[in-house]
Amino acid sequence: MVSFHRLFLFVLISTAVAAPASNSQPNSVYSALPEWQTVAPANEDINNSAWSQDTTEQVEPIRGNTGASMITQDDLALDQQNPDLYARPSTDEGYTPGAKWPFSLSSNRLQTGGWARQQNTNVFPIATDIASVQMRLKAGAIRELHWHTSAEWAYVLKGTTVVTSVNTDGQVFSSAVIKKEGDLWYFPAGIPHSLQATDDDPDGSEFLLVFDDGAFNEDSTFLLTDWTAHIPKEVLAKNFQINSGAFDHIPSKELYIFPSTPPPDDEQPPGSPNGFVPNTFTYKLSEAPAKPLSGGSIKIFDTRVFKAATTIVGALVTVEPGAMRELHWHPTMPEWDYILTGQGRMTIFAASATANTFDYRAGDIGYVPPSYGHYMENTGNTPLVYLELYNSDKVQDISLQQWLALTPPALVKAHLGVDNAFIEHLNKTKQYVVGSH
Ligand SMILES: *[C@@H]1O[C@H](CO)[C@@H](O)[C@H](O)[C@H]1NC(C)=O
Ligand SMILES: CC(=O)N[C@H]1CO[C@H](CO)[C@@H](O)[C@@H]1O
């Protein structure tokens, strides 16, 4: 059938080329079969998940009449959590890099003051441009004074954290208490800072740290105590112009995360003769209004509202059950996702007939390289809330629907074989999150 159409098309084109040129006559090429009719329509086979994510049933790698049962032992819990891997949709093809990393698979560094676990290219190679750390500090505990070569962006998950910082002009960062879940902080690359949990919450605090470099390693940051432990005492004494006895108690190795007394309420840093940092290092995302959408809501933050955060920007997205973050891509920005609550699935389209689907739940990380087409669909019965972050200074995307709505209809029809009703239905406004259908 296909070859017949191809032949037919060839004959028509040859005729058109051979015919004498005439602008007044309809060109015979116009009667050529549209290309979409010469190619088999997209597969209508089973395209939904073979079972719901997190089912407790015995699952098998079977979809319709493809696949077969598994006859040896397998990790059933993981199979149940990942229906779109274990029995992938028929629309998946080839192999993209893995685009899911559960923090549960990160090796957790336990300290007397709390813990920290990280995701970077060591464990999640696709994420070349963004790494992350989840950290818990007990009430009063300190993540010691330090700096690092990448910038640090943070999202408060729970509790109150006091942050301190000083910039290269000796200006001090003042409004330092990050109280609310959903608020942000940001420290530019190389700028020193500290974090300390207060006892506002008896559990202290927990937060998500995101770095603008996929190879970032939490164990390779520059720590105050690690440095002083590696400087001759007389050099320390000369530097501070004081007797070396002042350093009798400096630690012999780094402290990293350690217990301490909770800071008093509203403790302020020492006043600086140079004043305060010009662009504050915190942003109250919790107080920013969410833009309501047909399938949920979105809060976008970038340098237009949070000036200091020049390398990590993004959106807090809420997708109601059955709804979906629409098909889109980001022209040049890699996307890093963190699921806060609920569950969802995402297919990343890598061009060259390559697309894989991944299932996510709270605590999982997703990643989408620049320009890869994708969506995020809520597959659960509760709202899916997640962070979509980009290593960029602006939030930018191309919506598939908006693109097609703003393209000449004949061109769209020639590609997809859609009718006028579809063309009229296209919305020229970016939807972000579409409702269930
Ligand atoms: C297009 O989308 C906007 C925003 O969601 C909505 O307000 C509007 O009603 C839609 N227009 C049509 C014609 O559906
Ligand atoms: C076999 C199957 O479930 N096919 C479905 C693929 O998706 C479309 C659109 O949701 C459904 O209409 C089909 O029933």
Q: How many other CB atoms sit within 10 Å of the CB of residue 316?
A: 22
Task: Tell me the CATH class for 293-434.
Answer: mainly beta
Would you call 107 helix, strand, or coil by DSSP? coil
* Cα distance between residue 435 and residue 437, in whole Å: 6
The single-letter code of the amino acid at 412 is V
- Extents of the domains making up the chain: 2-33, 42-91, 110-283, 293-434
The single-letter code of the amino acid at 197 is A
Pocket residue to mutate for ligand 1, from 293, 427, 431, 433, most atoms within 8 A of Cβ: 427
Give the ligand at the shortest distance from the Cα of 399. Answer: 1
Same fold for the pair 110-283 and 293-434: yes
Ligand 1 atom having least distance to the Cα of 431: 5
Is 388 one of the catalytic residues? yes
* Cα distance between residue 140 and residue 161, in whole Å: 9
> Which of the following is catalytic: 287, 377, 388, 424?
388
Q: In Å, what is the CA distance from 359 to each residue of 9, 53, 267, 280, 384? A: 43, 7, 44, 37, 12
The single-letter code of the amino acid at 163 is V
Residues at the binding site for Mn(2+) are: 146, 148, 152, 193, 328, 330, 335, 374
pTM of the model: 0.88
Q: How many other CB atoms sit within 10 Å of the CB of residue 402?
A: 18
* Helix-, strand-, coil-residue percentages of the chain, each rounded to 5: 20, 30, 50
Distance 262 CA to ligand 2 centre (A): 56
The listed CATH number (3.40.1160.10, 3.30.70.380, 3.40.720.10, 2.60.120.10) that belongs to domain 110-283: 2.60.120.10
Distance 404 CA to ligand 2 centre (A): 23
Give the ligand at the shortest distance from the Cα of 433. Answer: 1
Token representation of residue 187: 């420290």
Q: Going residue by residue through the chain (437 aa), what tens digit of pLDDT does each one get?
A: 334 344 333 333 343 334 444 444 445 455 667 665 677 666 545 456 678 888 888 999 998 888 999 999 999 999 999 999 999 998 999 999 999 999 999 999 999 999 999 999 999 999 999 999 999 999 999 999 999 999 999 999 999 999 999 999 999 996 666 778 999 999 999 999 999 999 999 999 999 999 999 999 999 999 999 999 999 999 999 999 999 999 999 999 999 999 999 998 878 889 999 999 999 999 999 999 999 999 999 999 999 999 999 999 999 999 999 999 999 999 999 999 999 999 999 999 999 999 999 999 999 999 999 999 999 999 999 999 999 999 999 999 999 999 999 999 999 999 999 999 999 999 999 999 999 88
**Cα 155 to the chain's mean position, in Å?**
12
**55 Cβ below 6 A of ligand 1:** no
Pocket residue to mutate for ligand 2, from 48, 91, 347, most atoms within 8 A of Cβ: 48
Nearest CA to ligand 2 atom 3: 46
Nearest CA to ligand 1 atom 14: 427
Paired sense of beta strands 152-158 and 205-211, if any:
antiparallel
Pocket residue to mutate for ligand 1, from 293, 429, 431, most atoms within 8 A of Cβ: 429
**122 Cβ below 6 A of ligand 1:** no
